[in-house]
Amino acid sequence: MDVGALESRLVLYIGFDTHGRGCVGIAIGIVHRVLTLTHGRGCIGIAIGIVHRVLTLTHGRGCVGIAIDVKRLLGKRFSSNNVQKDIKLLPFKVVSSLGDEPVISFQYQSNEKQFSTLEISSMVLRNLRDTAEAFLGCPIENAVIAVPACFNDSQRLATVQAANIAGLNVMRIINEPTAAAIAYGLDNIENNDDKRERRKKKKNILIFDLGSGSLDVSILIMEKGNYKVKATRGDAHLGGVDFDNKLIIHCIEELERKHNMKKGHLSSNLSPKAYAKLRTSCEKAKRVLSAVDEAHIEIDSLIKGVDFYTSITRATFEGLNKDLFEKCICTVDRCLEDANMYRSSIDDIVVIGGSARIPKVREMLHNFFEGKDLSRRINSDEAVACGAAIQAAILTSINNNVPDLTVNDITTHSLGIETPKKVLMIPRNTAIPTTVEAVVVPAEHQMDYTIKVYEGERTRIRDNNLLGQCLSSRNNAISFAPYAVYFNVDQSGIFTISVEEKVAGQRKKRMKDITRDFMPMLSRKEIKKMATDAEELKGKEGEYKQRLEAKNELESLIIQLNKSIKMSKDSHKKKIVDAIGKTMKWLENNPQAIGDEFGDQFGEHVNCLKKEWDGMLQRSPTPSTVMMANSDESGFAKLTDLARDLAKSSTESKSRTRNTRKTDVARQPIQTQPAQPDPQNMRANRRQKIHSFHWFNKSG
């Protein structure tokens, strides 16, 4: 197996939501045979939560706090209307940072710890990278990451930065529907008898991607191995989570009616744990309703002294979400309008995403396209990972088995820049990469000028969302020489700006650093620090797992010892029984195996048990005790090794803690005595302020 080729072909398909699917596709040998790594229930679980007070990746069961649907918060302002609306229905605490960024707050080892959306996203990516590395047995550095097509520039940039924190170099950001179309097209060719004829045939494909957090609809033209995206429409707030929320609100209102509560009282007073229980039950009921006509929701002690039980029929669920289902079809209709196509022009309808399994969604799509069958050729959970893997293989082109494919994607949002005298626009659905140019003649003595970047579909550019701006300085303010502004959008959908000035007959082109209005570019130093923090957190999680393994092994040995000592005389086993009782009491007082002191005490208890066990064997050297010694010796040997490892980890952890404290002390600013104000200077400053005030009044 070519390890280098495997490294280059690794892709990660990431969805930042609790009940989504995270897949890792790897192109091995013949490129279209893509292996999708799975873990647990079908694919890699990507819920981030606190389980037993340790941050971990989980499927969401037993979590105190769950970072669900983080992708909706990624690259957004905390103060934005959408974020404020979203956090009301999230089962975890979201607060604002100093930079107006949403920050997720967890109870971590009895303390409140906050994680940015970048950090949470990087944890998901790191987990998937580690899983792939464990499978391949080699380090992973490069990745192609698929994101929802409705992601804007800030969200795409945030995804790249999260990948960098996770130690990944992003070769390209690809839209999920485009990746799914690549997988579908290749599968369609390989499973057809006349591959050449199939490859030449022109087909219009509609990709309907309804996931847990967003809806993306794309129309592509597939011909001779060329995939050209014609139009894309999406909704970042239309997905499985929104269907769950409708069901949650219905259950809360029903509970309020049953117990004569004031409307809205329960929703504002429901504890995070109770809300998490209700969300999990509603999500499970939604899945059940895709297979049967009725589902039951039963939760013990949802609120103090109150159990909750209700039945939800498929008709009720469809009625609750009628408006959302209609929005799905509206999005399809608008995508057809953007592509200037009729319904009859679509040859294949490819449906992917977990929420697309809802029968009503499939029925409405089937009826909208006048009875056309929906394609089920590809796995809806793994299609995006497969397509992204093929894209990674195309980018590297190491193996001759790489298919001869070209992918032409488009911008999913309209972008525009405003210069002092001109406005440039890159309309939505423009093929990328693309560059537009504006030549600006400066005003006399104009040394500096500002270029602003906007995103949105409003007619007036200033009515759209300000993404960022850059300040440029001219070399010669006296000259009236024009300058050119180049606005570039790369194949990942991320924009850059460059300015070209003509000075003394020479053209000089300079890239300009853009100050993003919200999503600033992290420096290498900042990325390195966040990566170091993530490694430290990962180390703590590894230490916890090590302690938990040691605890389980000790409990297993105690069970074995209790069975063994029954064969010995009572007079010979008193000391070992007392030692076992003492150890069991210690284990009961440390159920979660938390803290560095656990490792030190673990070794003491193992040594005590070993000492008393050896003493009993010496006092009662019968054939039966010799047999017991042989069977239990391996258990003690393993525990001794574990105790040694725990002691080493405990020492290293304490050393890191001391170094961290020293660093924190060193970073503290030196407290100096404030200088005493000079009365004479104060009077002069006061006179200057009064003079300025009178001058302002006269001029006004």
pLDDT tens-digit map of 586-627? 777 766 556 556 666 777 777 777 777 777 766 665 555 555
Task: Judge whether 248 and 256 are in contact, CB under 8 Å.
Answer: no
How many CB atoms are closer than 10 A to CB 433? 13
For the stretch 446-488, pLDDT in tens is: 677 777 888 888 877 778 888 878 776 666 555 566 777 888 8
Q: Is 386 exposed, middle or buried (0-12, 13-18, 19+ CB in 10 A)?
A: buried
306 occurs within a structural domain: no
Beta bridge partners of 418: 423, 452
For the stretch 480-534, pLDDT in tens is: 667 778 888 899 988 888 877 766 556 666 656 666 655 555 666 666 666 666 6
For residue 374, name the pLDDT band (cuts at 50, 70, 90): very high
Which one-letter DSSP state was computed for residue 431? B
Residue 321 has pLDDT above 90, yes or no: yes
697 occurs within a structural domain: no
Range in 96-110, 155-169, 217-231, 420-434 with the lowest mean pLDDT: 96-110
Residue 434 sits in the same domain as residue 548? no
For the stretch 619-661, pLDDT in tens is: 665 555 555 555 556 666 676 776 676 666 666 665 555 554 4
Which domain-ending residue is among 516, 551, 584?
516
Range in 323-337, 416-430, 671-685 with the lowest mean pLDDT: 671-685
Residue 25 sits in the same domain as residue 112? yes
Task: Judge whether 454 and 418 are in contact, CB under 8 Å.
Answer: yes
- To which H or E segment does residue 36 belong? strand 34-37
The span from the CA of 465 to the CA of 425, in Å, is 14
Residue 540 sits in the same domain as residue 616? yes
Closest of 149, 148, 143, 147 to residue 171, by C-alpha: 143
Buried-state track 399-430, b at ≥16 Cβ within 10 A, e below 16: beebbebebbbbbbbbbbbbbeeeebebebbe
288 occurs within a structural domain: no
Average pLDDT, whole number, for the chain?
Answer: 73
Residue 54 sits in the same domain as residue 72? yes
The encoded tokens of residue 267 equal: 């929703």
Distance from the Cα of residue 257 to its chain's centroid: 37
Amino acid letter at 296? H
Task: Judge whether 447 and 474 are in contact, CB under 8 Å.
Answer: yes
Which domain-ending residue is among 372, 388, 408?
408
DSSP for 607-672 reads HHHHHHHHHHHHH---HHHHHHHHHHHHHHHHHHHHHHHHHHHHHHHHHHHHHHHHHHHHHSPPP-
Q: Which residue has the higher pLDDT, 76 or 210?
A: 210
CATH number, domain containing residue 72: 3.30.420.40
DSSP for 516-547 reads ESS-PPPPHHHHHHHHHHHHHHHHHHHHHHHH
Task: Judge whether 457 and 414 are in contact, CB under 8 Å.
Answer: yes
Residue 360 sits in the same domain as residue 452? no
**Which residue's entry shows tokens 């009044």?**
697
How many CB atoms are closer than 10 A to CB 303? 16
CA of 75: how far to CAs of 267, 276, 451, 614, in Å? 28, 25, 21, 62
Residue 7 has pLDDT above 60, yes or no: no
The encoded tokens of residue 303 equal: 């609120």
Range in 209-223, 226-240, 559-573 with the lowest mean pLDDT: 559-573
CATH number, domain containing residue 482: 2.60.34.10
603 occurs within a structural domain: yes
Q: What pLDDT sits at residue 20?
A: 46
467 occurs within a structural domain: yes
Residue 45 sits in the same domain as residue 71? yes
Task: Determine the average pLDDT of the residues in 119-129.
Answer: 81
CATH number, domain containing residue 657: 1.20.120
The encoded tokens of residue 159 equal: 């995804």
The encoded tokens of residue 410 equal: 């488009």
Amino acid letter at 642? L
286 occurs within a structural domain: no
Q: 3-class SS at 508?
A: strand
Residue 540 sits in the same domain as residue 661? yes
Task: Judge whether 318 and 261 are in contact, CB under 8 Å.
Answer: no
> Number of folded domains in the chain?
3
Rg of the chain (C-alpha set): 31
Residue 435 sits in the same domain as residue 487? yes
Do the bridges between strand 93-96 and strand 102-108 make them parallel or antiparallel, or are there none, so unpaired? antiparallel
Residue 35 sits in the same domain as residue 147? yes
460 is in which domain, residue-wise?
415-516
Residue 481 sits in the same domain as residue 581? no
The encoded tokens of residue 185 equal: 């097209």
Residue 553 has pLDDT above 70, yes or no: yes
Closest of 411, 410, 415 to residue 467, by C-alpha: 415
The phi-psi region of residue 75 (left if phi > 0; otherwise alpha if psi is between -120 and 50; otherwise beta) is: left
Q: Which residue has the higher pLDDT, 147 or 185?
A: 147
Closest of 96, 93, 90 to residue 267, by C-alpha: 90
Residue 81 sits in the same domain as residue 165? yes
DSSP for 106-158 reads EEETTEEEEEEHHHHHHHHHHHHHHHHHHHHTS---EEEEEE-TT--HHHHHH
Terminal alpha carbon distance of the chain: 79
382 occurs within a structural domain: yes
295 occurs within a structural domain: no
Residue 442 sits in the same domain as residue 556? no
Which domain-ending residue is among 460, 491, 516?
516
